[in-house]
Amino acid sequence: MNTPIETGPAGSGQVVDRVRDGMRGIGVGSVAIDVVPLGERRGLPPVGEEWSMAVARALAEGRPIIITIDGPAGTGKTAVAQRLAKRLGLSILDTGAMYRAAALVAIEQGIGIGEPGRIVDAVSRCGLRVEFGDDPPTIHASGRDVSDRIREHDVTQLVAPVSAIVPLRDLMISMQRQIATEHPRLVTEGRDQGTEVFPYAAVKFFLTASSEVRALRRAAQIKKKTGVTPNLEELRKEIEIRDEIDRNKPRGALKPAVDSIIVDTSRMDEDAVVGELQKLAMAAVAAMLDGRKQRA
């Protein structure tokens, strides 16, 4: 199935006004605004009854609430998306995990990147699915939960070229849209969610961070998991190579949607990012439901 989700045009004047009112670290479209100073901590904003009422109203009106979060690896996207979804009572979809599962299928079936047709065929037959009954949702392929396995190095190395296979992207996009019809209150994160998959999402975010900061974050994760301190310079290079592949894909290239809100997380802690995204998302959904004038 390939039906786009109709949510009405993205963005809202209200969101832009709030951003212009002085939110730091946030930009709209290609506009960049200063970052939140290091160490500045603000409490997460309350969610409140108004939000539950907005969600209930959207549900009653048959209007999906789709929040897209795109951006390169190491910007904190996955953790932020999970926390945002939890706070707002929405489902969460990690589309990178779907591409990782596809790369794993290729590895396990011994199919090389030189045979894209066979990869697409194998992925379409592997029973790839996201189990939303788990928290966070798990990803299953070839009859088992592969959520941990897809984070291993061999998968990470192969996933960028695998995700550049155009017919594979078509397959994933149609699966993602199908998931959104079944989970119409969704935070979905990846590279192309706001540009290609859900062009009419209620609100779109694009997270960025310098490659140095992203390498540091990845190193901390690896150290925590394995006890080994990785080579920072190698990590930074790997990140830049993956970015380059992601930016130059014929389909699903890594770039912000014209109506996305750009958030530079280089000097923001996770709480600050979650808090800002929450405020902006709530404002955008309220504006969408009110049918207020969209951004000029």
Interface with ligand DC (CB under 6 A), residue from 73, 84, 263, 288:
73
CB of 231 to ligand DC, least distance (A): 19
Least spacing, CB of residue 291 vs ligand DC, in Å: 30
Q: How far apart are CA 101 and CA 84, in angstroms?
A: 24
> How far apart are CB 269 and ligand DC at their closest, in Å?
20
- 192: contact with ligand DC by CB under 6 A: yes
Closest CA to 68 of 187, 237, 184, 148: 187
- Closest CB to ligand DC among residues 119, 160: 160
Rule CB under 6 A: say whether 201 interacts with ligand DC: no
Cα distances (Å, whole numbers) of residue 94 to 81, 164, 225, 257: 9, 17, 20, 18
Total of residues contacting ligand DC (CB under 6 A): 14
| Least distance in angstroms from the C-beta of 252 to ligand DC | 5
How far apart (Å, rounded) are the C-alpha atoms in residues 272 and 105? 37
Shortest gap between Cβ of 105 and ligand DC (angstroms)? Answer: 14
Q: Is 96 in the site for ligand DC (CB under 6 A)?
A: yes
Q: How far is the CB of 247 from ligand DC (least distance, A)?
A: 10
Alpha carbon distance 285, 185 (integer Å)? 11
User: With binding defined as CB under 6 A, does residue 252 bind ligand DC?
Assistant: yes
Per CB under 6 A, 204 contacts ligand DC: no
Applying CB under 6 A, does 208 fall inside the site for ligand DC? no
- The residue whose two tokens read 């949510």 is 7
Residue pair 219/164 in contact by the 8 Å Cβ criterion: no
* Interface region with ligand DC, contact rule CB under 6 A, candidates 93-101, 198-206, 213-221, 229-237: 93-101
Binding residues for ligand DC restricted to 151-170, rule: CB under 6 A: 159-160, 163
Task: Pick from 140, 183, 204, 242 the residue near ligand DC by CB under 6 A.
Answer: 242
Parallel/antiparallel/unpaired status of strands 65-70 and 129-131 = unpaired
Phi, psi of 41 (to 5 degrees): -120, 130
Which of 67, 88, 99, 286: binder of ligand DC (CB under 6 A)?
99
Spatial distance between the Cα atoms of 261 and 37, rounded to a whole number of angstroms: 19
Residue 217 to residue 211: CA distance in whole angstroms: 10
Kindly give, in sequence order, each residue whose CB lies less than 8 Å from that of residue 46, ignoring residues fewer than 6 positions away. Answer: none
Footprint of ligand DC on this chain (CB under 6 A)? 73, 95-96, 99-100, 159-160, 163, 190-192, 242, 246, 252
